[in-house]
Amino acid sequence: PDAKPAPSDPPSAPPQDALLARLRERLGARHVLTEATDLAPHLAEARGLYRGRALAVLRPADTAEVAFAVRACAEARVPVVAQGGNTGLVGGGVPQGGIVLSLARLSRIRAVDPVGATLTVEAGAVLADVQAAAEAAGMLFPLSLAAEGSCRIGGNLATNAGGTAVLAYGNARDLVLGLEVVLADGRVWNGLKGLRKNNAGYDLKHLFVGSEGTLGIITAAVLKLYPRPASRAVGFVGLPSPRAALALLERLRRAAGPDLTAFEVMPRFGLEIVLRHVPGAQRPLASGHDTYALVEFASPRPGADMAAELEAALAASLEAGLAEDATIGASEARNAALWRLRESLPEAQSREGGSIKHDVSVPLSRLPEFLERATAACLAEMPGLRPCAFGHFGDGNIHFNLSQPPSMDRAAFLAAWARFNRIVHDIVHDLDGSIAAEHGVGLIKRDELQHYGDPVGLDLMRRLKAALDPADILNPGKVVALSDDPPPAL
């Protein structure tokens, strides 16, 4: 018979209860969420591809509370998954057990230095608020992406986000001068220097940028600010092919140099579905074209007239037979409407049923070749599917998305994801490109990275992970796996 515990021998609580009690005591009970309804938004991810599970969601108020929480979790051997706005697109923020650590309450702007052109901000600040703080100081923080109203700067840095201003200003990595990071053992690394030159040993901040919460928890950052544009112009151009888009890009770069601040591309199918699904979207050009480019010129120089310069450059491109048609926004409202056509494409695509997505980059000169080869190979694999390749063409970065054939069952289509990965990523690899351009690796590309990554590079990544987080506490199983556990199925 089962032995009953003696009255003097109270049943011991599971270790996780002790951890939660410790966390409640320090963070306050209302910042340790355990109710299913409170957990739910933190377990789902933007595309609904994965569903996570977690013991609790923590909402620490400052760096010291983050450090306490990480140390407590490390001592209890409970994994910690950082979350900012939970807008990531690779399943990186999806917990597979353990604790979700939300940075949302660390949202203060700590300092603005207009002379040094820097802004010091906590990791949980929403990107749009960071942009607004820069604007209030008469400056520009250029990182910009469609999720900017909900993604948070710590998440942007943890994923080395790209977005629409990379051509002129670089990725998130290029916009950061210093970081404050809580390490896996709960120590705080204070690297919050706003220096433009600092060669005092290894540049540790770049280890954490793009590490997707696997090496440390970013709690604050010093960001670079820039002069605000004094003049901006946006054009929408109809083109016969991606090859013509590349030729237009080269021509505009020669004409405008650093004033060419964006060069985005979308296909005919992309514009058609935006016009079909997005309320208020208006056809920008009279007739249809194979390929469209959205181009932006911007300059901080007082007196610069970007509309005149863009008009001259596009007129010359039309005359040379490169472009088929073009329009320029006559007002800021019109510029914003042209940008909306491009930025609402993912939303329009989601209304067209299932889509299989590949966020890839190849050397710019090979982008047309990639598009031609990948489109042909995917159509040969599944006639009737609708390729929708769009994105940050000027950066060599394409979202090579495939919309399901209209007659096909959504689940059956999505079940072919791995097959299309192999087709598309083989071509990317052959062209010396990257299978993870701007969204990161997370869960969705972990095994693809293992397949295509340089073995020495992968070994270095694993050694770095093991050195910084030997107990595999921080976002385990993401990016590079230390254990042999397969990622959860889509």
Q: Which two tokens stand for residue 78?
A: 């409970």
Interface region with ligand FAD, contact rule CB under 6 A, candidates 30-38, 144-152, 300-308, 454-462: 144-152
* Position 438 contacts ligand FAD (CB under 6 A): yes
Residues near ligand FAD (CB under 6 A), total: 37
Helices 242-256 and 367-381: angle between axes, nearest 10 degrees: 160
Alpha carbon distance 332, 214 (integer Å): 41
Q: Which of 61, 59, 64 is nearest to 99 (CA)?
A: 59
* Position 162 contacts ligand FAD (CB under 6 A): yes
* Position 146 contacts ligand FAD (CB under 6 A): yes
Nearer to ligand FAD, 373 or 439 (CB): 439
Q: Which of 159, 205, 181, 394 is nearest to 294 (CA)?
A: 394
Please pick, from the candidates 32, 59, 67, 87, the single residue that binds ligand FAD as defined by CB under 6 A. Answer: 87
Alpha carbon distance 204, 189 (integer Å): 10
Residue 2 Cβ vs ligand FAD, minimum distance, rounded to whole Å:
43
Binding mask 37-76 for ligand FAD (x = CB under 6 A): ---------x------------------------------
* Position 186 contacts ligand FAD (CB under 6 A): no
**Residue 371 · residue 358 · CB < 8 Å:** no
Please pick, from the candidates 119, 134, 161, 443, the single residue that binds ligand FAD as defined by CB under 6 A. Answer: 161
Nearer to ligand FAD, 212 or 296 (CB): 212
Nearer to ligand FAD, 188 or 326 (CB): 188
Nearer to ligand FAD, 423 or 441 (CB): 441
Alpha carbon distance 60, 250 (integer Å): 48
Interface region with ligand FAD, contact rule CB under 6 A, candidates 156-164, 254-262, 301-309, 381-389: 156-164
Q: In angstroms, how far is CA 277 from the centroid of its own chain?
A: 24
Tell me the one-letter amino acid at 436: A
Q: Which two tokens stand for residue 114?
A: 């207009």
Strands 217-224 and 226-227: unpaired
Strand partners for 326: 237
* Position 217 contacts ligand FAD (CB under 6 A): yes
Interface region with ligand FAD, contact rule CB under 6 A, candidates 82-90, 293-301, 412-420, 457-465: 82-90
Nearer to ligand FAD, 68 or 299 (CB): 68
Cβ atoms within 10 Å of 325's Cβ, excluding its own: 17
Instruction: Give the nearest residue (CB) to ligand FAD.
Output: 155
Residue 271's contacts (CB-CB under 8 Å, 6 or more residues apart) are 283, 284, 288, 292, 341
Residue 320 Cβ vs ligand FAD, minimum distance, rounded to whole Å:
31
Q: Which two tokens stand for residue 222?
A: 């010093």
Beta strands of 75-132 (E only): which ranges? Answer: 80-83, 99-102, 109-113, 118-122
Please pick, from the candidates 52, 60, 79, 92, the single residue that binds ligand FAD as defined by CB under 6 A. Answer: 92
* Position 234 contacts ligand FAD (CB under 6 A): no
Helices 63-75 and 15-27: angle between axes, nearest 10 degrees: 170
Binding mask 104-123 for ligand FAD (x = CB under 6 A): -------------------x
Residue 253: φ, ψ to 5°: -65, -40
Nearer to ligand FAD, 159 or 299 (CB): 159
Q: Which two tokens stand for residue 54?
A: 């977690």
Alpha carbon distance 248, 257 (integer Å): 13
* Position 155 contacts ligand FAD (CB under 6 A): yes
Residue 143 Cβ vs ligand FAD, minimum distance, rounded to whole Å:
9
Alpha carbon distance 98, 484 (integer Å): 18
The footprint of ligand FAD on residues 463-482 (CB under 6 A) is 475, 478
Nearer to ligand FAD, 216 or 238 (CB): 216
* Position 88 contacts ligand FAD (CB under 6 A): yes
Residue 12's contacts (CB-CB under 8 Å, 6 or more residues apart) are none
Please pick, from the candidates 57, 72, 140, 145, the single residue that binds ligand FAD as defined by CB under 6 A. Answer: 145
Please pick, from the candidates 191, 210, 229, 346, the single residue that binds ligand FAD as defined by CB under 6 A. Answer: 346
**Residue 157 · residue 139 · CB < 8 Å:** no
Q: How far is CA 423 from CA 355, 370, 429, 472, in A?
A: 16, 12, 10, 33
Nearer to ligand FAD, 17 or 347 (CB): 347
DSSP secondary structure letter of residue 199: -
**Residue 201 · residue 186 · CB < 8 Å:** no
Interface region with ligand FAD, contact rule CB under 6 A, candidates 56-64, 146-154, 278-286, 374-382: 146-154
Alpha carbon distance 83, 27 (integer Å): 17
The footprint of ligand FAD on residues 283-342 (CB under 6 A) is none
Tell me the one-letter amino acid at 152: R
Binding mask 237-276 for ligand FAD (x = CB under 6 A): ----------------------------------------
* Position 205 contacts ligand FAD (CB under 6 A): no
Site of interaction with ligand FAD (CB under 6 A) = 46, 81-89, 92-93, 103, 123, 145-147, 151-152, 154-156, 158-159, 161-163, 212-213, 217-218, 346, 438-439, 442, 475, 478
